[in-house]
Amino acid sequence: MDQSFLLMLTNLLHLQNHLDPTTSLLSDSSSSYSSSIASPTSPTSLLTSTSAAPLLFFTIASVLSYLATHHSPNKKPKTSPNNDNNNPSSPSHAAAAAEFSVSAFRALSTEHIWAMEAPLRDAQWRSLYGLSYPVFTTVVDKLKPYITQSQLCLPSDYAVAMVLSRLFHGFSAKTLATRYGLEPYLISKITNMVTRLLATKLYPEFIKIPVSRRRLVETTQGFQELTSLPNICGAIDGTAVRLQHLPSDTVNSSMYFSKYGFPSVLLQVVADHKKIFWDVCVKAPGGFDDATHFRDSLLYNRLISGDIVWDKGVIVRGQHVRPYIVGDWCFPLLSFLLTPFSWNRTGSPAQNAYDEGLMKGRKMVEEAIGLLKGRWKILQNLNVGLSHAPQTIVACCVLHNLCQIAREPEPELWREPEENGSPPRVLENEKSFFYYGESLRQALADDLYQRLSSR
């Protein structure tokens, strides 16, 4: 029985004894235990008393006894899981917050992590944050100076771990707030800060165009081993990143709906033969096509203006072939971006052989996108505000490169819908690049077919 109820009952008995001592329910302090048992006061004597106090007491005591019996404080009230999640004082909320508290994280990361064998340690870290412990510490070390400057009320490594958990599992701010015992607005604030730092401070270090001679040779040789085509330096593709919510006040909201029917923004990436991104662009709503997004990118403007100079050329059938990227038929054919002759192998034998080789190279970027969405599940259904969507996507691309460079185990690929469509029209300022691209493509096809036939 609850101690507070016993105290209340005792006080009532003392009150009744004071009002009507002739019918006391409390034994006299000088009475023995045997005498109180021998002549107990019965409820009948209370009812027949001339004083109103016994009847009042009996009524109150009965009500309290009934409440104590039917509303035991040890009996948990029936609440739904949603109510527990929304109530910071609920037991389930408190337990979850304790499990993911700063002290719990500190105990794991500083006291126990180095006592574990490396494979077990890294497997546990990947299950929580999507990457191994050494890669995690690399991210923390690079971001810590900037996070410290922000005077965040949480430790830097704890804040990074929280954001990585959200990106890896795809949790919403509300779900993560319940888990960590924080307010959703604080989770959103920390997510925005960490993803912004990843997308700005770490981008130049981990996403680089391969302009150095050593890296350019390594990349082109890697692609040649895959495709038998010379001087490929990257593969380009676009993907729609689904938005969980599109604000009702979004201007021209129809532009955000992709050809697959869901609201999204477009991500364009260029990957090398190791599935590492060397260019990332998020500028267009999901309703735009790949060609339009490409032409609006900084990469396109740098390539068409000659700002990017790749110092490595080869001669193929009299044609000077500089490093180029490959894409599918949704991109424009240009001297620096070569596409297939057809999408259904309806060309000549030489053209079909070229198309087959080119698509092997393009497969690298296709798989890179699959790895990106497979590892950072928030990109499967982006649950951040529209204004923060680009930086969140770019942040995940930076983390993807970190994982690929560190040779982290590759997750199951996220499968994209099959693309189809007709080649984009050639713009007036692109005509010279288009005609030169046609000549290069045919020369490469004829050269490849001759080499394959002579084997």
Residue 145 token pair: 């100076």
Higher pLDDT, 404 or 111: 404
Q: What is the pLDDT of residues 23-33, one digit of tens each?
A: 443 333 333 33
- Please count the structural domains in the chain: 2
Across 85-89, 136-140, 186-190, 295-299, least confident range: 85-89
Q: What is the pLDDT of residues 354-395, one digit of tens each?
A: 999 999 999 999 999 999 999 999 999 999 999 999 999 999
User: Which domain, by its residues, includes 177?
Assistant: 103-205
C-alpha angle with apex 67: 65 to 70, nearest 5 degrees? Answer: 110
**Does 223 score more than 90 pLDDT?**
yes
Last residue of a domain, one of 173, 205, 237: 205
Do 230 and 305 lie in one domain? The reply is yes
Residue 50 CA, distance from chain mean position = 76
Average pLDDT over residues 321-337: 96
Do 295 and 381 lie in one domain? The reply is yes
Residues 274/206, Cβ–Cβ less than 8 Å: no
Do 315 and 374 lie in one domain? The reply is yes
Average pLDDT over residues 17-41: 40
In a domain, 368, yes or no: yes
Tell me, what's the pLDDT at 428? 96
Question: What is the DSSP secondary-structure string of 363-393?
Answer: HHHHHHHHHHHHHSGGGGSB-S-GGGHHHHH
Do 381 and 248 lie in one domain? The reply is yes
Task: Report the candidate in 220, 134, 131 with the shortest Cα–Cα distance to residue 404.
Answer: 131
Do 135 and 279 lie in one domain? The reply is no
Tell me, what's the pLDDT at 151? 86
Last residue of a domain, one of 184, 205, 226: 205
Average pLDDT over residues 214-243: 97
Which residue reads 């000088």 in tokens? 30
Last residue of a domain, one of 144, 171, 205: 205
Tell me, what's the pLDDT at 77? 42
pTM of the model: 0.78
In a domain, 216, yes or no: yes
Tell me, what's the pLDDT at 360? 97
**Does 49 score more than 50 pLDDT?**
no
Task: Report the candidate in 201, 199, 219 with the shortest Cα–Cα distance to residue 209.
Answer: 219
Do 252 and 147 lie in one domain? The reply is no
Which helix (H) or strand (E) is 337 found in, with range?
strand 337-338
Task: Report the candidate in 184, 141, 150, 145 with the shortest Cα–Cα distance to residue 166.
Answer: 184
In a domain, 76, yes or no: no
Tell me, what's the pLDDT at 72? 42
Do 310 and 414 lie in one domain? The reply is yes
Q: How far, in Å, CA of 103 to CA of 106, rounded?
A: 5
Do 421 and 312 lie in one domain? The reply is yes
Average pLDDT over residues 33-49: 37
DSSP strand E in 181-335: where? 232-242, 264-271, 277-281, 314-316, 319-321, 324-326
In a domain, 89, yes or no: no
Average pLDDT over residues 282-305: 96
454 exposure class (CB count in 10 Å sphere: 0-12, 13-18, 19+):
exposed
In a domain, 46, yes or no: no
Tell me, what's the pLDDT at 439? 97
In a domain, 361, yes or no: yes
Higher pLDDT, 298 or 109: 298
In a domain, 324, yes or no: yes
Do 234 and 171 lie in one domain? The reply is no
In a domain, 417, yes or no: yes
Do 262 and 301 lie in one domain? The reply is yes
Do 270 and 189 lie in one domain? The reply is no
**Does 256 score more than 60 pLDDT?**
yes
Do 225 and 179 lie in one domain? The reply is no
